[in-house]
Amino acid sequence: MWSNSAMSDALGQRPTRIRVDLDALSHNLRAIRAHVGVPVMGIVKANAYGHGLVPVARQLEAQGVDQLGVAFVEEGIALRKAGIATPILVLGGIFGPQVAQFIVHGLEITVSSLDKLRQAEAAAESLGRKAVIHLKIDTGMERIGVHGYSAGPFIEAAVASQWCVLKGIYSHLACADDPASPMTLQQLERFEDACAHFARIGAPLPLRHLANSGGVLHFPQTWLDMVRPGIVLYGVLPDPASRPSIDLRPALSLVSQVVYFKVVRAGSTVSYGATWTAPHDTRIVTIPIGYGDGFPRALSSRGQALVHGRRLPIVGRICMDQFMLDLGPDGSAYNEDEVVLIGAQGSESIRAEDVARLAGTIPYEILTGLNERIPRVYSGG
Ligand SMILES: *Cc1c(COP(=O)(O)O)cnc(C)c1O
């Protein structure tokens, strides 16, 4: 059922792997579309939130996603080299020396200042090919973009540009994860004020987009002409305060297998620093994944894993490549038994959101932290 990723080889695959359910991605895209009723830009930055950049983009493209979004030009180039033809917006700030790369690879540029507009124009003119741009308005992140209250001349310069095709205008929400935050509607108002400048100068309004996952979940007013969901596309909620207003299915599971079994005597300590002491004779299994894979060390003596449908505690510090689970005095498990770190087993499940809470971080960091040492295997699609 599971097809092998590029990491598999004749020696067989590492027992630790990420399973990505491409059908869950399609389901989430459909559910988001039905919920918002406007075009969707699927965000696939940071290796598609750990799910694998190219396979995810291919799946979304096959489902007719309207647009893709990445953070860096290198991610966009990787997609083009893989044959992805869907429009791609690079969301990050641009560096002058890289601008020509956008145009050569047919990537849409985020223009976040008048200077950057001039850089895009110069690169387009020297290549003899127009640049497709989206203007970035800062409405409260103070990250990149021209402040909404001083965007008039910026908008006018973009409208007048001979070498830039003005496709979109956008901003980014700082607090939309929380349905109770008043910041989102303030940001929307600032964005709409900036967009009103088009009418004042008699120019056609480009595509307006504002909503990230939080906006998609909680703020219909922010949907405008297109939405930019990232984490909900993968079936994960952005924040514990988020309302699950859409039926989402987690697309990623992280699984491993027992590599060692032993009995540990009462009073013996487990792992570096001897921070965990067996309170009684107990049975311990070793699992071959660690912080060197991006499995957070913060889960030391805090995290959990599923074995035989039972939820078991991680004991002692997580090592670079291994950690230990306590089966208890009567627990049993054998070498090669499946261990689920994120995902379902029997009637139990551990969500990326649970792992994030226990590790003291957000699910974004858990997912994007899972690195390329772990092979990805894909099903469905
Ligand atoms: C990452 C990002 C998104 C997607 O954010 P989620 O919270 O994952 O939905 C949307 N827009 C911009 C500009 C981003 O950087």
Is 373 marked as a binding-site residue?
Answer: no
| Residue 290 structure tokens | 């660690």
> What is the predicted pLDDT for the residue at 13?
80
CA nearest to 208, candidates 187, 189, 223, 193: 223
- Ligand 1 binding pocket, CB closer than 6 Å: 43, 45, 91, 172, 212-213, 228-231, 238
CATH code of domain 252-379: 2.40.37.10
> Coil, strand, or helix at residue 281?
coil
At residue 300, what is the residue type?
A: S
Q: Are 129 and 172 in contact (CB under 8 A)?
A: no
Residue 45 among the catalytic residues? yes
Q: Are 181 and 175 in contact (CB under 8 A)?
A: yes
Q: Could you identify the atom of ligand 1 that is nearest to the CA of residue 176?
A: 7
- What does the domain layout of the chain look like in residue ranges? 38-234, 252-379
| Residue 251 structure tokens | 């697309």
Distance, CA of 76 to CA of 67 (rounded, Å): 12
Other residues' Cβ atoms within 10 Å of the Cβ of residue 263:
12
Q: Could you identify the atom of ligand 1 that is nearest to the CA of residue 229?
A: 9
Distance 261 CA to ligand 1 centre (A): 43
- β-bridge partners, 349: 344
Chain segment 17-69, per-residue pLDDT in tens? 999 999 999 999 999 999 999 999 999 999 999 999 999 999 999 999 999 99
Is 143 marked as a binding-site residue?
Answer: yes
Q: Could you identify the atom of ligand 1 that is nearest to the CA of residue 216?
A: 9
HSE-CB for 29 with a 13 A CA cutoff: 25
Low-confidence ranges of the chain (pLDDT < 70): 1-12
Strand 269-270 to 207-211 pairing:
unpaired
* Residue corresponding to tokens 């889960």: 299
Residue 81 among the catalytic residues? no
Catalytic-role residue among 45, 136, 291, 378: 45
Catalytic-role residue among 149, 260, 262, 272: 272
Q: Are 165 and 135 in contact (CB under 8 A)?
A: no
* Fold topology of 38-234: TIM Barrel (3.20.20)
> What is the predicted pLDDT for the residue at 11?
57
